[in-house]
Amino acid sequence: TSAVHPVMADNKDVFDTREASLLVRELRSIFKSGRTKSYDWRISQLKGIERMMEEREKDIVEALHLDLSRPELESIIAEISGLKSASKKAMKELKKWMMSEKVKTSMTTYPSSAEIVPEPLGVVLIISTWNYPFLLSLDPVIGAIAAGNTVVLKPSEVAPATSSLLAKLLDEYLDNSAIRVIEGAVPEATALLEQKWDKILYTGSARVGRIVMAAAARHLTPVILELGGKCPAIVDSNVKLEVCARRIIAGKWAANCGQACISIDYIITTKIFASKLIDALKQALEESFGENPMESKDMSRIVNLFHFKRLVGLLDEDQVTDKIVLGGQRDEKLLKIAPTVLLDVPEDSQIMQEEIFGPLLPILTVETLEESFELINSRQKPLAAYLFTNDEQMKKKFVQNVYAGGMAINDAIIHVTVPGLPFGGVGESGMGAYHGKFSFDAFSHKKGVLYRGFEGDSSLRYPPYTQKKQTL
Ligand code: NAD
C-alpha cells in the first residue's frame, strides 16, 4: 500500500494551489458567517446524508461493485447501514452533544461557576481511502457537520467510481456552500495540504500519514490519522471451533477480501492446535465460497493491478511459497486471489513485514499462547488485536498487556460498529479517534469558560505582596 498511485485518467481540470486557496477562503467566509453553527443547519445536513443513503443505495452499491466487485450485501452491511446509523445517532444526540457541560470550581476562584463549551473548529479537510470508500469518506463528514464545521472531502482516486459518485451526491444532497468534494490524486491532495486548515482527518497508509502530518505542522493544524498495520488474532484451542472459523472468515475474506484496515492480518495459535484450525478454516471457507472460491460472487476482488501484483509478490517469495496450506490460486485478468492460508512463514519474510491488506492469512505457531503477547508487542502497535478463547484469565491478561488501537474478544472487525467505542489507532496505526460522540469531539474545540461576579473579591492575589499576606 505504499506506492504512489497514478493520477486519475479523466482528471480534466487540474486543481492547483491557487484554487485550493480560493476554496478555503470561500469556506472560511461561510464559516465566519455563522451559517454552519446553528443546530438547524447541522440537522438538515445530517438528514441530507440519511436521505442520500436511503434514496441512492442502488447507485452506491453499483459504484462499489465497479471499484471492488464488492458483493451487494457486503456493501449494504459494511458501508450503507453503518452510515445510516451514524447519521441517525448524530441527529438523535446532537442537542446533548452541543450542550455545554458544567464543571466544579475551586476555592481559588470562589465564588464562580465554570463550563466546557464545545465550539466548531472552522474549515476541516478529510482525505479518505479506497477500501471502504463511501463509509470512510462520509463517516468523518458526519462528525465534522455535527460539530458545525465547513468541510472539504478528498476521496481516493483508487476507487474512481465511488469518488465521482460522492462528488455528485454531496452536491445534490448537501449544502454546497459549506461542504465540498475535491476529486483527484497526489497533486490535488498536495494543493489542499498546502492550505491552512483547522483540522485534518486522514485515512490511509502510514507513509502518506507522515506527509499529511508534516504539511499540517507548518500551520499548527491538528490531525487525526487513521492508519493501518498488521492486526493479529490469537486463537486458543478451547474455542468453539466452527463459530471461531466462521468469524475468522468474516474478519478476513468477507471483509472486502481482506482489504480492510482492521481485517485479521495474521493468526497466532499453538503448534498442536494449528492443523485443527486449518481444517476448520478449510471447511468454513468451502461453506462460504464453494469449492472454487475464484468463481465465487461473494468475495470482492483486489482493487487494482498494482495491489494484485504486490500480493502475488508476497506469496511468491521463495521462503513463503511452500508454506501455503490452503488456496494460492490467482487470476490476473479478474484481479482475484483465492483465500490463502500459510503455515509458519519466517518472521523475516515480506508477508510478515508489511501490512498484507488482501486475502492471504499466515498462521504463526507458538508453544504456549502467553508467548504471543510478547510477539505482538515486539511489533508496531496494530489498529486492532483479536483473541479467541474461553479462558477468562487469558482475556483479562490480553486486554491488560497487549497494546493496540482497539480489540475484540471472540470476534473480529465488528467492534467498529459499536458507536460508544472510539475508533482509532495508536503509535504506527494512527492518532486520534472518531465514531459516535468521539466524532463530534474530534471536530470540536472544548472551550473552558469561567464565570465570576464582582462579589467576594479577596485582595490576597493583588500586589503589593505584603508580609501579612504571605503569612495568611
Ligand atoms: P490511498 O492510496 O487511497 O491513499 C489515501 C489517500 O491519500 C488518498 O486520498 C490519496 O489520494 C492520498 N494520497 C496518496 N499519496 C499522497 C501524497 N503523496 N500526498 C498527499 N496525499 C496522498 O490509500 P492507501 O494509502 O493505499 O490506504 C491503505 C491504508 O489505509 C492501509 O494501511 C489501511 O490499513 C489504511 N486504512 C486505515 C483505515 C482506518 O480507518 N484506520 C481505514 C482504511 C484503510
When pLDDT is cut at 50, 70 and 90, the band that residue 82 belongs to is very high
User: All 3 cell numbers of residue 23?
Assistant: 476554496
Task: Give catalytic status of residue 226 as yes or no.
Answer: yes
Q: From the CB of 158, is ligand 1 less than 6 Å away?
A: yes
Cα 250 to Cα 252: distance, rounded to the nearest angstrom: 6
Which value does ipTM take for this structure?
0.98
pLDDT in tens, 149-160: 999 999 999 999
For residue 13, CA distances in Å to 16, 261, 466 come to 9, 32, 71
Amino acid at residue number 68: L
pLDDT in tens, 372-398: 999 999 999 999 999 999 999 999 999
Q: Where are the alpha helices (DSSP H) in 411-450?
A: 437-442
Whether residue 456 is predicted with pLDDT greater than 90 in this model: the reply is no
* % of the chain with per-residue pLDDT over 70: 97
User: All 3 cell numbers of residue 454?
Assistant: 464582582
In this predicted structure, what is the pLDDT of residue 347? 94
Q: Which of 127-136, 383-392, 462-471 has the lowest mean pLDDT?
A: 462-471
In this predicted structure, what is the pLDDT of residue 3? 39
The 3-state DSSP class for residue 129 equals coil
When pLDDT is cut at 50, 70 and 90, the band that residue 12 belongs to is low
Q: Which of 41-45, 105-109, 217-221 has the lowest mean pLDDT?
A: 105-109
User: What is the best residue among 153, 203, 230, 435 to mutate for testing ligand 1's pocket, by most ligand atoms within 8 Å of CB?
Assistant: 203
User: All 3 cell numbers of residue 340?
Assistant: 490463502
Mean pLDDT confidence for 345-369: 97
| φ/ψ (deg, to 5) at 404 | -165, 160
User: Residue 62 class from Cβ within 10 Å (0-12 exposed, 13-18 middle, 19+ buried)?
Assistant: middle
Sheet containing strand 150-154, edge to edge, reads: 179-181, 150-154, 123-127, 199-203, 223-226, 430-431
Whether residue 5 is predicted with pLDDT greater than 80 in this model: the reply is no
Q: Which is catalytic among the residues 226, 231, 257, 428?
A: 226
Whether residue 6 is predicted with pLDDT greater than 70 in this model: the reply is no
| Nearest alpha carbon, ligand 1 atom 37 | 227
Q: From the CB of 261, is ligand 1 less than 6 Å away?
A: yes
**Closest alpha carbon to 363 in 262, 268, 255, 247:** 268
Whether residue 472 is predicted with pLDDT greater than 80 in this model: the reply is no
Q: Catalogue the E-assigned strands of 147-284.
A: 150-154, 179-181, 199-203, 223-226, 232-235, 266-270
Whether residue 101 is predicted with pLDDT greater than 80 in this model: the reply is yes
Residue 228 alpha carbon, nearest atom of ligand 1: 34
Amino acid at residue number 253: W
Whether residue 367 is predicted with pLDDT greater than 80 in this model: the reply is yes
Inter-residue contact 143 to 124 (CB < 8 Å): no
Q: From the CB of 1, is ligand 1 less than 6 Å away?
A: yes
User: All 3 cell numbers of residue 136?
Assistant: 470512510
Q: From the CB of 263, is ligand 1 less than 6 Å away?
A: no
C-alpha atoms less than 13 angstroms from C-alpha of 296 in its C-beta half-sphere: 23
In this predicted structure, what is the pLDDT of residue 13? 66
Q: Where are the alpha helices (DSSP H) in 263-317?
A: 274-289, 305-315
pLDDT in tens, 164-194: 999 999 999 999 999 999 999 999 999 999 9
Question: What does the mean pLDDT of the chain come to?
Answer: 95
Task: Give catalytic status of residue 291 as yes or no.
Answer: no
Q: From the CB of 211, is ligand 1 less than 6 Å away?
A: yes
In this predicted structure, what is the pLDDT of residue 8? 44
| Nearest alpha carbon, ligand 1 atom 24 | 204
Whether residue 9 is predicted with pLDDT greater than 80 in this model: the reply is no
Q: From the CB of 228, is ligand 1 less than 6 Å away?
A: yes
